[in-house]
Amino acid sequence: MQLSKRLLEVSGLVSYGSRLADVGTDHGYIPIWLTEQGAIRSAVAMDINRGPLLRAQENIRRHRLEEKIKTRLSDGVAELRPGEADSVVIAGMGGSLMVKILKEGKEVLATVKELVLQPQSDICNVRRFLQENGYRIDTERIVLEDGKFYPMMHVVHGKMEPLSDIEAMYGPCLLRCRDECLRLCLERERQTLCRLEEGLAKNRTEKAQERRAELQDRLRQIEEALCAVLRKHK
């Protein structure tokens, strides 16, 4: 099986030999690939919708992995039993939904060793939630695929230092290691926001100027983040 660059990077954050729970499994690609690589012992592929779960079941049968990968209709981790998994992957969904799953699954998630998270939006809120609820981000990656940037993180239980605004927005580990892909992401975002800000400068309405001030604040955050990343190249 050939994984997309995004899913390959997500899979690479799962610890070797884990028992995996893949939440929002969709086609079941991550547990199938990891099982075929011999990287995990077993997996539960979970989805809230019956359609994606049926597709995952068909793919699992096609790869003859029914003994290794079980499927389960589940809202988040509601149907995951305590102690059943070491590693939980939640990827490819919005950050608000991800936080909801983490909140509602607090008890069962307390029994796992690691989370691998790849929120599609609201990543700042996800990082804040983790920091405030007894989790620690110990690894972050960001990949560029089909013109889009996808941040992801490996999370364990533990204490994390309070996050600054730019750390919550762009990732404490990515900033600390001065990630090259993060630099590209920041430069693209700066270019986009500069164009928007320039356009709003010509509009003197109160609403437009309020929006311009918001963009200027974001641009200051981007410049601060870029300064941290670019120290590597001096």
> Worst-scoring range by mean pLDDT, 45-59, 177-191, 203-217?
203-217
Query: Measured between alpha carbons, how far is 148 from 5 in angstroms, rounded to an integer?
Result: 11
Per-residue pLDDT, averaged over 207-233, amounts to 88
pLDDT tens profile 28-60:
999 999 999 999 999 999 999 999 999 999 999
Which tokens go with 77? 């981790």
Q: How confident is the model at residue 234 (pLDDT cuts 50, 70, 90)?
A: very low
Distances (CA, A) of 129 to 65, 102, 132, 133: 35, 9, 5, 6
> Worst-scoring range by mean pLDDT, 9-18, 122-131, 205-214?
205-214
Query: Measured between alpha carbons, how far is 188 from 232 in angstroms, rounded to an integer?
Result: 19
Beta bridge partners of 45: 22, 71
- Calculate what percentage of the chain has a pLDDT beyond 70: 99
DSSP summary character for residue 53: H
Which tokens go with 45? 């592929």
pLDDT tens profile 125-140:
999 999 999 999 999 9
On average, the pLDDT of the chain sits at 95
Question: What per-residue confidence (pLDDT) applies to 232?
Answer: 53
Spatial contact of 201 and 210, defined as CB atoms under 8 Å apart: no
The whole model's pTM is what? 0.93
Q: Which conformational region is residue 28 in: left (phi greater than 0), alpha (psi within -120 to 50 degrees), or beta?
A: left
pLDDT higher than threshold 80 for residue 190: yes
CA trace torsion 173, 175, 179, 183 (10° rounding): 150
DSSP code per residue over 110-161: TT-SEEEEEESS-HHHHHHHHHHTTEEEEEEEEEEETTEEEEEEEEEES--P
Distances (CA, A) of 60 to 29, 35, 44, 56: 9, 10, 11, 6
* Other CB atoms within 10 A of residue 26 CB: 20
pLDDT higher than threshold 90 for residue 233: no
